[in-house]
Structure 1
């Protein structure tokens, strides 16, 4: 292997040479005593000699492509340390440090990492444009030989970075994806699709880095079609991160990395280095294994086995009866909420569900530990309702209680049970519930979770892995009209619709004016809206809802009417008021959402009968 690499430009050099890249920067800095929790990139200013020593160690080990210590030197990442005003200074200093270690016979490429950095997408990606441009300009002005865009989990974000950076320079762009599973990106692209799009967008060198070790990156290349003439790179992790002797560590040895480098070469890969967990010892073994060898041509597999399997194996379970979204198009559709029990006795709950079902509820919806109070699993109860009694459950899914692993597992379980109607909600904070010491997870917002549930409908997991089947979830979103600024609430609702919501369920309203306001505010939204109505049961109930429960507001008239009655008379007054609201709602809303208070299912049964009668009369008058 020719070590006088700087006799050629990077792209030209890789046409007929193998090139050894460096290894992990953070791993080495940690080994040298830098604690976790600081900005490794800021060390370019405060401890430049330390960063130089890492570069020097990789150079001495045989690396002839050094990456600047700027992976997280963007405004978003640096802001976590109060360093967002030092983007340009850090990037320029990093290039100078790497250049000193590279001498005259190693390439220096500016590292630009994903801004999402493994997090679930919560922002519009266009917001990253200025950040990519700011960092790229700083690196280019400092004199790099190229840029390496690395550890991008989503093709969409990497394409955005290329779109911004490509017009700024003719220098080589190395563009590397990171995948959570072999062969597919987090946002659902096969590597065959992704590599093609990256090359068309202007990437000079395409490849994979991070997340996976050598074996899985090798498998990824073995299963993928690569564009003709593409220059390929691979920077694997040192295996999977695991707990050993009480400490987290990467398992792959330097000797294993050397054997893996030879296998990667057989796949036509020309630029080989290391990512998380790799050290100068790993790079030394790579350099020695590749010493004196020439690159091999890329030979694509004759069709990706994984892609053939993926394309041929998807199928969708068909619903046995129309969903609530289909029903609401043809007439009044009624959803009734009935809370799961707080104890282990299910007899009363099932009896109430049966009564609601026989009364004509199109679906019975079960909250997910509402108000952060522990209740029986709505998934288990939904399975009983559907499997034993033929009812159609609509399951609430809160962002509060499960991390992403638990959320996807939960949804996969619902799919297996044939429960495909869900309502995604944020969830009330745990500290306000009956176990105030419990933690609130909130890995994602309701917007993110709606988007991710719809991804399951494409047969793609949260991590981008094909699921062999496509889910068929009908996804609802919550809307609270009881706010001071209805315009802001509507904009939030529109974002949920954009994320993929199929229908809307509102918080309960308690006066005719609120119903009309919801109608006027949402009539431009082209998905069904189910207007929430919950009968009051007493004066105390009314005052509690009005003064203490977030998202609920009663009119002064409703409060006054409940002050005048007690006991059974109060419940009857609550039913009467709810019927008056149904009189206003049914002419403008096909979707009615009845919320059962305190498990008084008899109240909801009476309101179902009334809504059906009112709807029939209205339909008859229209036909006449």
Structure 2
């Protein structure tokens, strides 16, 4: 399905989209991060409401290594380990005592992705002249991701939060991010802003409002994408029509893409069609690689995990049906992304014209 891209002429996605279109493949995003670290390093403390953002403070080498593994697997875009990050979160977790200290922690965590990319590019240069420069997207989750109550999946934030409160939360966090991106080690290094696991059109409206407000103040942030989460094919997690959520998200020229993440794979085809039908911007798609059992609040057994080969096959189908950026969320790994990249390369070579 052909996507209109009228709002993205100045987006860093455009050159990447153009390059991959020429090669006949989708843009490849990285895979799961927090769950990957939790599965591979169960001994690490991910408590305190910061999850992998806290691990980035206590064990930065693990985070930098995960970024490198996704780059080496073939990711065109990697996302930072900052999904739960906020000034209040760092302070509540005892990792910072002031906003300035929280800024320094966020800066250092984003810098891990920058360092990993620099190492990857250097390794490429040593191997030959054909280099690629992957993009870096700063990951920020729903306000619910900072509450520790899983409300990022439902949009029912509770705790007396109004949509004005949600707007002010995003405004403060975007302001924090802008300060961090002005640090010498990050200036000019970050390409995108990934607003992830957004459960409602309401929160998307608050996010867009905050982005627009900062733009009016001449505060410059990277172009953003907004990815919704939902367990069904036609509504947000809160229950609004998914088309309304897409319209809310794309109402600002500061939003360069829209899509879905942290959703079960079985809802993707129809959900993707509903989004692509109304989206004026490119569509991103990165679902989970395993079934979440809501009744037990745990992942299903190993039989519910999608193999890298099957995931890659599905991802190519998503790409053929409207998703211009494909990757993975929880319970996907570098091997899933490697297999996807290899599958995309094979599909391209098979479809290429022959003399």
Which shows bigger deviation, 231-240 or 186-195?
A: 186-195
Gaps of 5+ in 2: 1-10, 21-25, 122-132, 349-355
Distance 1:170 1:267 in 2: 30
Q: Distance in 2 between matches of 1:201 and 1:106?
A: 25
Q: Cα distance, 1:224 vs. partner?
A: 4.3
Residues 91-102 of structure 1: matches in 2 within 5 Å?
91-102=106-117
Matches within 5 A, 1:164-313: 164-166=210-212, 167=215, 168-169=219-220, 171-202=222-253, 203-210=255-262, 212-224=263-275, 226-227=277-278, 229-242=280-293, 251-291=305-345
TM-score normalised per structure 2: 0.73
Instruction: Sort the Cα spacing of 1:188 and 1:59 in 2 relative to 1 into closer, same or farther, 3 A.
Output: same
The aligned residue for residue 73 of structure 1 is 85
How many Å separate the matches in 1 of 2:15 and 2:221? Answer: 13
C-alpha deviation, 1:35, in angstroms: 4.0
- Corresponding residue for residue 484 of structure 1: none
- Structure 1: state its 5+ residue gaps: 1-7, 295-624
State the shift of 1:156 in Å: 1.3
CA contact (8 A) 1:150 1:175 kept: yes
Q: What root-mean-square deviation, in Å, do the aligned CA atoms of Structure 1 and Structure 2 show?
A: 2.6
Matches within 5 A, 1:355-366: none
- For 1:293 and 1:138, how far apart are their aligned partners in 2? 43
Shift in CA distance, 229/281, structure 1 to aligned 2, threshold 3 Å: same
Q: Does the CA-based 8 Å contact 2:201-2:244 persist in structure 1? A: no
- Secondary structure of the residue that 2:72 maps to in structure 1? helix
Q: 1:187 to 1:27 in 2, by over 3 A?
A: closer
Of 81, 84, 87, which residue of structure 1 is paired with 2:102? 87
Choose 1 or 2 for highest CA Rg: 1
1:160 aligns with 2:206: yes
Task: Give the match for residue 69 of structure 2.
Answer: 57
Question: Which residue number corresponds to residue 145 of structure 1?
Answer: 191
CA distance in 2 between counterparts of 1:81 and 1:204 reads 33
Q: Does 1:114 align with 2:117?
A: no
| Structure 1 residue aligned with 2:17 | 14
CA distance in 2 between counterparts of 1:251 and 1:175 reads 26
Q: Which has the higher contact order (CA 8 A, sep 6+)?
A: 2
Partner of 1:37: 47
Deviations 1:275-311 (A, max 9, x none): 11111111111111222667xxxxxxxxxxxxxxxxx
1:133 to 174, 186, 196: 174
Q: Where does residue 308 of structure 1 map in the other structure? A: none
Contact 1:88–1:134 (Cα < 8 Å) also in 2: no
Residue 248 to residue 285, structure 1, CA distance change in 2 (3 Å): same
Comparing 224-233 with 47-56, which one deviates more in the overlay? 224-233
